[in-house]
Amino acid sequence: MNDVLTKKITSKSPMHMVLVVDDSGSMRGDPAALATKALRAWVSELDVATQGTRPYFRFSLIQFGSQPTIVAENLDVRKVDVTDFQLAGESGSTNLAAALNAAREVLLRDGATSAHCPPFVFLFTDGHPTDSNGHTSEAATQAALDAAGALKVLPLPCGSPFLVALGYGDINDDNMRKLASRPDLYHRLPNMAALVKVLPSIGTPTVQGGGTVGTFVAQIAGGIQER
């Protein structure tokens, strides 16, 4: 683990960031519009932080409701067209287990080597997990926790992924902490507008300071609530 944390994020050791974002019916309207603004701003800010020349980051986007949709997969962040990202809140229920399983499959396909930084999966949701039929239950919650557990121990050559959880609205804080790789990698946002500030801030200070995976973890654990 210490070897992983001391890796520097560079063009020779890039980091794959996977955003898994809730697009279920509860996101319809302003929440979907604000989430769209946030994720577009995040990708644009990462491009600026790397000065548009350094391939520090790869990016994937998974939108989910009743089922996940992979919108972007393993793209150089400098080549992402942010206009492709549009949340509408029209994707049904909150099948979190399927979304996390999709993230796991994306990481299994990304071709990372031991030189790469371990990937980070950012999960944003505003509701309780449901099954494929749209029903909330203890079984649906457990399925989400099981999918998160499998994701967090994925034996990639570059190290297992870190899972960061961001929540808003009608969520269970205890379960969200369990989903995250560490309790301090879960943050409840006070409102949807906060996401517009939080996402673009993630990664920028670390890259500009020539940071490591460890400083990136520390930034997320300690800095999100301050923004």
Comparing 99 with 13, the larger pLDDT belongs to: 99
pLDDT band at 225 (very low <50, low <70, confident <90, very high): very low
Residue 153 · residue 162 · CB < 8 Å: no
What is the structure's pLDDT at 11?
A: 83
Q: Does 227 have pLDDT greater than 50?
A: no
pLDDT band at 70 (very low <50, low <70, confident <90, very high): very high
Q: Does 52 have pLDDT greater than 70?
A: no
Q: Which residue has the tokens 């577009």?
A: 40
Instruction: Give me the mean pLDDT over the 85-108 stretch.
Output: 94
CB burial of 189-214 (b: ≥16 within 10 Å; e: otherwise) equals beebebbbebbbbbbbebbeeebbbb
Comparing 21 with 222, the larger pLDDT belongs to: 21
Q: How far apart are CA 145 and CA 180, in angstroms?
A: 9
Amino acid identity of residue 53, one-letter, is: T
What is the structure's pLDDT at 196?
A: 86
pLDDT in tens, 142-191: 999 999 999 999 999 999 999 999 999 889 999 999 999 999 999 999 88
Q: What is the CATH number of the domain that holds 80?
A: 3.40.50.410
Question: Which residues face 20 on adjacent strands?
Answer: 62, 123
The domain tally of the chain equals 1
Range of the domain at 34: 2-226
Q: Which residue has the tokens 């399927």?
A: 98
Coil, strand or helix at 161: coil
Instruction: Give me the mean pLDDT over the 26-35 stretch.
Output: 91
Q: What percent of the chain has pLDDT over 70?
A: 91
Q: Does 9 have pLDDT greater than 80?
A: yes
What is the structure's pLDDT at 79?
A: 85
Which segments of 23-161 are extended strands (E)? 57-64, 68-76, 120-125
What is the structure's pLDDT at 10?
A: 84
Cβ contacts of 195 within 8 Å, gap of 6 or more = 34, 35, 38, 124, 166, 168, 189
| pTM, full prediction | 0.93
